[in-house]
């Protein structure tokens, strides 16, 4: 798409439009093999635009998706052991994206993926206030464990505490807990349950903040809406 050169320069974060206009008038901008003129248009995807001899590299659009990660997939960019990665499930997205935080191989559920580092840091850091909620099917004394989980505990030298703990149901020998956490140490939910003598049979992340998995099928993904992206960016 052809745009005014000053708009292209501004969109690249090099200068404001007014400053870019002055740069054009000063002869500092070149399009392909010619000095740019004020009012001229170009297509950044086709034309080479230089500022003081340095090319403008087109910025990739930011991408934000939510994936319903199945069990058996790992949340890394690649694996030297040949295990399946979540990138295989999003292979039709041509822009390079990466997971926001992790879900271990035996866990499933809501996983955000993006190419926006600021967005990723905001979602993961506890100061963002976006609690992650998990449904955990366990074997053991659910009622006693639920009481213990509501208090701070030490996990490998880290003090952790659930934001909330809810008993979804109790069955013979176990049950289902809904646990919300704001921290994110490695395998935190599993380690908290182990500390309470619970054995985890299955673990599923069902929401992050106000964003819930909904009816998204296992292995499927969708783009976040502008409102959903804004929720995480602006809190």
CATH superfamily membership of 131-208:
Alpha-L RNA-binding motif (3.30.70.1560)
| pTM for the whole structure | 0.75
Residues of the chain with CATH 3.10.290.10: 3-55
102-105: long-range pairs with CB below 8 Å, 24+: 102/75, 102/186, 103/69, 103/75, 103/205, 104/74, 104/75, 104/187, 104/190, 105/71, 105/72, 105/73, 105/74
Residue ranges of the chain assigned to CATH 3.30.70.1560: 131-208
Q: What is the average pLDDT across 53-70?
A: 88
CB-hemisphere CA count at 13 Å for 6? Answer: 16
User: CA-to-CA distance for 62 and 42, rounded, in angstroms?
Assistant: 22
Residue 36 buriedness (CB in 10 A; 0-12 / 13-18 / 19+): buried
Q: What is the mean pLDDT of the chain?
A: 92
How many residues does the structure list for the chain? 235
pLDDT in tens, 72-106: 999 987 778 888 999 999 988 888 899 998 899 99
79 an active-site residue?
Answer: no
**CATH code, 60-129+211-235:** 3.30.70.580
The DSSP output letter for 88 is G
Contact 98, 77 (CB under 8 A): yes
The β-bridge partners of 223 are 65
Q: What mean pLDDT do residues 36-46 have?
A: 90
Q: Is 179 helix (H, G, I), strand (E, B) or coil?
A: strand
> Domain 3-55 is classified in which CATH homologous superfamily?
RNA-binding S4 domain (3.10.290.10)
Burial code (b: 16+ CB inside 10 Å, e: under 16) for 157-183 equals eeebebeebeeeeeeeebbbbebebbb
Of 52, 104, 106, 141, the catalytic one is: 104
Specify the higher pLDDT residue, 183 or 202: 202
Reported as a single tens digit per residue, the pLDDT across 118-170 is 888 889 888 888 999 999 999 999 999 999 999 999 998 989 999 999 999 99
219 confidence band (pLDDT: 50, 70, 90): very high
pLDDT at 235 over 70: no
* C-alpha–C-alpha distance, residues 187 and 181, integer Å: 12
Angle between helices 188-195 and 142-149 (to 10 degrees): 120
CA-CA distance, 136 to 179, in Å (whole number)?
7
Where along the chain do the CATH 3.30.70.580 domains lie? 60-129+211-235
């Amino acid at each position: 798409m052809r745009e005014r050169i000053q708009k292209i320069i501004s969109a690249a974060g090099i200068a404001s439009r007014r400053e870019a206009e002055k740069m054009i008038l000063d002869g500092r901008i070149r399009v392909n093999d010619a000095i740019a003129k004020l009012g001229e248009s170009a297509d950044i995807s086709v034309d080479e635009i230089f500022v003081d001899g340095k090319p403008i590299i087109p910025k990739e659009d930011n991408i934000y998706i939510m994936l319903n990660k199945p069990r058996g997939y790992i949340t890394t960019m690649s694996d030297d052991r040949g295990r399946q990665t979540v990138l295989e499930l999003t292979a039709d997205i041509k822009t390079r994206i990466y997971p926001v935080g992790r879900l271990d191989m035996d866990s499933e559920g809501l996983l955000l993926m993006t190419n926006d580092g600021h967005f990723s840091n905001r979602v993961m850091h506890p100061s963002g206030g976006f609690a992650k909620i998990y449904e955990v099917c366990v074997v053991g004394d659910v009622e006693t464990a639920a009481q213990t989980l509501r208090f701070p505990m030490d996990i490998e030298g880290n003090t952790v505490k659930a934001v909330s703990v809810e008993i979804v149901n109790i069955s013979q020998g176990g049950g289902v807990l809904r646990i919300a956490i704001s921290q994110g140490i490695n395998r935190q939910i599993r380690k908290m349950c182990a500390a309470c003598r619970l054995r985890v049979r299955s673990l599923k992340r069902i929401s992050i903040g106000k964003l819930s998995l909904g009816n998204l099928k296992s292995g499927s993904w969708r783009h976040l809406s502008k409102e959903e992206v804004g929720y995480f960016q602006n809190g």
